[in-house]
């Protein structure tokens, strides 16, 4: 393996000059620099990241923690963060915390050593734990805001409010919110938004669940909704909504004729399922990019004061919502 010493020898300079030529080219004489760089290229020299991070204290690695790697929401996020960290010359390590608070805690503590900073997606930590973590390692949270922590928040609640308005204007009077995980901050916000909009429009909204944010759980959610006698459901996320669609179909019910369905996030698949899902479009990839940019900024200038960025989300109406079913008359 080629080391800095080999390059130094080959170009007839000291190792510090090589080091400078690599890291701060402007600090070395142009001709020397060229000679060193040529030798380095010749020998195919690549600085050891281990040694580099040992001395510099920086690993040029960013961590992305997601609660469930199988959820398409996080795919979009991964795209966003990966792109930005790559451009900035950082590697990204990807960690699945499997919806477990303990695992998340553990990985935050562990990653603090390997990464220069962390992006936490949909953290399940308590406010205190999250704030404490933010004091340990530079960190930006996505869809999880708490004092003392920089974050990017997607305003899906307002989209959910729009969805309730939409349903009300279609004549629905009884709707249900299909709740996501209890520990999800977004879930609480969405349900609150649904309640407020329901009050405002004078319709009745109840909560069903909680359900795991998966397609499988959508089946149970669908049954619960039918049993509750509502004419429309707003799901915590598209995955649950997709599961609802499937279960309703299997039970011989039509969407939106028998039941209207609204998803949330507009993740992969929600536009080509059947019928296409009315959902709240969240700029997830952009959120990932923004969070990475904020983290990068944090690394440059240690925390002036935590920032919270809110990204708008807007209702996208597609085929899964329609007028409330009229009571049939026998002919």
Partner DNA sequence: TTGAAAGCGCTAACAA
Partner DNA sequence: TTGTTAGCGCTTTCAA
The whole-angstrom separation of Cα 184 and Cα 235 is 14
The whole-angstrom separation of Cα 7 and Cα 201 is 73
For position 253 contacting its own copies by CB under 8 A, the verdict is no
By the 8 A CB rule, do 21 and 36 touch?
yes
Q: Which two tokens stand for residue 195?
A: 């309640």
In the list 148, 216, 274, 303, the residue contacting its own copies (rule: CB under 8 A) is 274
The whole-angstrom separation of Cα 256 and Cα 313 is 23
For position 136 contacting DNA by CB under 7 A, the verdict is no
For position 54 contacting its own copies by CB under 8 A, the verdict is yes
Report angle CA 291, 125, 219 to the nearest 5 degrees.
Answer: 90
Least distance from C-beta 106 to DNA, angstroms? 18
Least distance from C-beta 33 to DNA, angstroms? 7
For position 20 contacting DNA by CB under 7 A, the verdict is yes
The DSSP call for residue 327 is: P
Which H or E element spans position 116?
none
The whole-angstrom separation of Cα 258 and Cα 230 is 10
In the list 38, 41, 42, 54, the residue contacting DNA (rule: CB under 7 A) is 54
For position 6 contacting its own copies by CB under 8 A, the verdict is no
The whole-angstrom separation of Cα 37 and Cα 33 is 6
Least distance from C-beta 95 to DNA, angstroms? 21
For position 91 contacting its own copies by CB under 8 A, the verdict is yes
Strand, coil or helix: 260: strand
The whole-angstrom separation of Cα 157 and Cα 167 is 15
For position 106 contacting its own copies by CB under 8 A, the verdict is no
Least distance from C-beta 17 to DNA, angstroms? 3
Q: Kindly indicate which of the ranges 31-39, 146-154, 180-188, 308-316 contains the residues binding DNA, using the contact rule CB under 7 A.
A: 31-39
- Residues contributing to the site for DNA (CB under 7 A): 1, 3-5, 12-17, 19-20, 22-23, 27-29, 31-33, 45-48, 51-52, 54-56
- Residues contributing to the site for its own copies (CB under 8 A): 46, 48-51, 53-54, 59, 61, 69-70, 72, 75, 78-79, 82-83, 86, 91-96, 109-110, 113-114, 242, 245-246, 268-269, 272-275
């Amino acid at each position: 393996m080629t080391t800095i010493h080999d390059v130094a020898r080959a170009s007839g300079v000291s190792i510090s000059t090589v080091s400078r030529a690599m890291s701060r080219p402007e600090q070395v004489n142009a001709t020397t620099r060229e000679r060193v760089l040529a030798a380095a290229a010749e020998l195919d020299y690549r600085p050891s990241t281990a040694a580099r991070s040992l001395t510099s204290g920086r690993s040029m690695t960013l961590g992305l923690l997601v609660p469930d790697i199988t959820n398409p929401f996080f795919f979009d996020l991964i795209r966003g963060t990966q792109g930005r960290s790559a451009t900035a010359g950082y590697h990204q390590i990807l960690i699945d915390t499997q919806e477990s608070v303990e695992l998340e805690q553990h990985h935050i503590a562990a990653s603090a050593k390997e990464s220069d900073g962390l992006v936490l997606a949909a953290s399940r930590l308590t406010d205190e734990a999250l704030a404490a973590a933010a004091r340990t390692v530079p960190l930006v949270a996505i869809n999880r805001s708490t004092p003392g922590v920089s974050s990017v928040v997607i305003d899906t609640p307002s989209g959910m409010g729009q969805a309730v308005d939409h349903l009300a204007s279609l004549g629905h009077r009884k709707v249900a919110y299909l709740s996501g995980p209890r520990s999800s901050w977004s879930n609480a916000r969405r349900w609150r938004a649904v309640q407020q909009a329901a009050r405002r429009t004078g319709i009745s909204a109840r909560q069903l669940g909680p359900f795991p944010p998966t397609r499988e759980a959508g089946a149970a959610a669908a049954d619960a909704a039918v049993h509750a006698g509502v004419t429309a459901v707003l799901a915590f996320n598209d995955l649950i909504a997709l599961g609802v669609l499937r279960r309703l179909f299997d039970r011989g019910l039509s969407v939106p004729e028998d039941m209207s369905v609204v998803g949330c996030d507009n993740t992969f698949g929600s536009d080509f399922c059947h019928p296409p899902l009315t959902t709240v479009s969240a700029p997830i990839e952009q959120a990932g990019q923004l969070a990475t940019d904020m983290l990068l900024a944090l690394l440059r200038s240690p925390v002036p004061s935590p920032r919270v960025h809110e990204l708008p989300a807007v209702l996208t109406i597609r085929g899964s919502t329609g007028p409330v079913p009229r009571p049939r008359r026998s002919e």
